[in-house]
Amino acid sequence: MAKKTIAEAIRSALHQEMKRDEKVFILGEDVGRFGGCFGVTGNLVEVFGDDRVRDTPISETAIIGAAVGAAAVGMRPVPEIMFADFLTVPMDQLVNQAAKMHYMFGGKAKVPMVVRAPVGSGIAAAAQHSQSLEAWFTHVPGLKVVMPSMPDDYAGLLVASIRDDNPVMFFEHKAMYGISGEVPDTIEPIPLGKARIHREGSDITIIATAMMVHKSLAAAEQLAKDGVSVEVLDPRTLVPLDTEAIAKSVAKTNRVIVVHEAVKRSGFGAEIAAFIAEDCFDSLDQPVKRLGMLNTPVPFSPPLEQYVVPNEERIIAAARELMQ
């Protein structure tokens, strides 16, 4: 085990898989000599060369289009979209091509590609560079959606995603790249569709994604001082979703908060809440409570940005309300 930041964990996973399989290559804006917008790809171009760490024009349509074509003929591309907000540009290639080719060609075509894209707020990047759009992609059959929170999960889930024969949307929170933790020297794949319990509890289950996992753990520490036992569950992958783990936790605590950074309206928390209402209703002592960003574009102003996003205090308040 070595202590690594999330950025280093991602780079280690990329390095391992590129060394293991020469079909794996990276493409995107500034991923080569510059080392990536957030420094994630680092010196990989010096190790693997320009052919396998390819700087592209400023065209998300070209990046994803090239990746879909390369994947369809047997390569395993890992395209990086500099900000997840820019995924709105190549939506046709993702939604109408990558997601559907395996189905429409009767299983004869595979599209093994991993789209890496930074999401989230926290760096005052304003409305066009701070969104969390993961729910859009969970709605599309044929796409897998991964959203880790811890360095070792980033590494293991990225390895699993690269080895998967399906297109995977791999969302990385841009304000979390510096968070560190232990990562194995040899990274084993973590199966997609398996949730992780970061904290055991008996009174309330908090189901959280990405940065909200860390805020939920901090809130759980505070609530413990008041005698409230909180379980923090991280789905890690949204598609496939570990409904079995969610149902087991709900049956234990009987109260649920779902929290994510994305806008609350139609966020993925609504899907989780709907599953609990339909399949776990008899386990509930209270209605499921959802927390998400306010229905507004992300402000540039840091104080306003912090105001619209769920925080530790709001999680604590929601928990205390459920305990009444």
For the annotated catalytic residues, the residue numbers are 129
Report helix, strand and coil shares of the chain as percent, to nearest 5.
40, 20, 40
DSSP state letter for 282: G
From 178, 179, 174, select the one nearest 218 (Cα to Cα): 179
Rounded Cα distance between 97 and 91, Å, is: 9
Give, for 271, the enclosing helix (H) or strand (E).
Answer: helix 268-279
Rounded Cα distance between 253 and 233, Å, is: 12
Rounded Cα distance between 199 and 179, Å, is: 18
Pair 162, 76: CB distance under 8 Å? yes
Handedness of CA 14, 31, 150, 276 (dihedral sign): negative
Calculate the CA dihedral of residues 2, 134, 292, 266 and round it to 10 degrees: -160
Residues paired with residue 181 on neighbouring β-strands, in sequence order: 4
CA distances 184 to 99, 114, 122, 189, Å, are 32, 21, 28, 11
- 115's tokens: 């789209």
